[in-house]
Amino acid sequence: MGNSVVNSSESAGRRHWIAPSVLAADFGHLAEEVEKINASEAELLHVDVMDGVFVPNISFGFPIMKTLRTYSKKPLDVHLMITHPEKYVERFCDAGAWSVGFHLEAVDDPAPVLALIRAKGVRTCLTINPDIDVKRLEPWLGEVDMVLLMSVFAGFGGQSFIPESIERVRHIRRCIDERGLGTLLEVDGGIHTKNAQAVFDAGADVLVAGSAVFGAKDPLAAIRAMKAE
Ligand code: DX5
Ligand code: ZN
Q: What is the CATH number of the domain that holds 94?
A: 3.20.20.70
pTM of the model: 0.95
Whether 50 and 57 have beta carbons less than 8 Å apart is answered as: yes
pLDDT at 6: 54
pLDDT at 13: 59
CA 79 – ligand 1 centroid, Å: 10
pLDDT at 229: 61
Atom of ligand 1 nearest to the CA of 159: 14
| Residues 204, 172, 124: CA angle, nearest 5 degrees | 75
48 is a catalytic site residue: yes
Is the CB–ligand 1 distance for residue 45 below 6 Å? no
What ligand has the least distance to the C-alpha of 55? 1
CA atoms within 13 A on the CB side of 102: 27
Options 145, 188, 205, 218, the catalytic residue:
188
CA 23 – ligand 1 centroid, Å: 7
CA 169 – ligand 2 centroid, Å: 16
**Residue-range definition of the domain harbouring residue 93:** 2-11+19-227
Q: Please provide residue 34's backbone torsions phi and psi, each rounded to the nearest 5 degrees.
A: -70, -35
Is the CB–ligand 1 distance for residue 213 below 6 Å? no
Atom of ligand 1 nearest to the CA of 212: 12
Q: d(Cα 100, Cα 80) in Å, to the nearest integer?
A: 7
Average pLDDT per 10 consecutive residues for the chain, totaling 229 residues: 46 80 98 98 98 98 97 98 98 98 98 98 98 98 98 98 98 98 98 98 98 98 92
Options 26, 48, 205, 218, the catalytic residue:
48
Q: d(Cα 217, Cα 221) in Å, to the nearest integer?
A: 9
Distances (CA, A) of 122 to 101, 113, 214, 220: 10, 12, 27, 28
Q: d(Cα 172, Cα 176) in Å, to the nearest integer?
A: 6
When divided into structural domains, the chain yields a total of: 1
pLDDT at 228: 85
Closest CA to 46 of 70, 65, 66, 26: 65
pLDDT at 150: 99
Helix boundaries (H) for the chain: 30-38, 62-71, 89-94, 110-119, 165-178, 196-202, 211-214, 219-227
Q: What string of DSSP letters covers 134-146?
A: GGGGGGGTTT-SE
What ligand has the least distance to the C-alpha of 154? 1
131 is a catalytic site residue: no
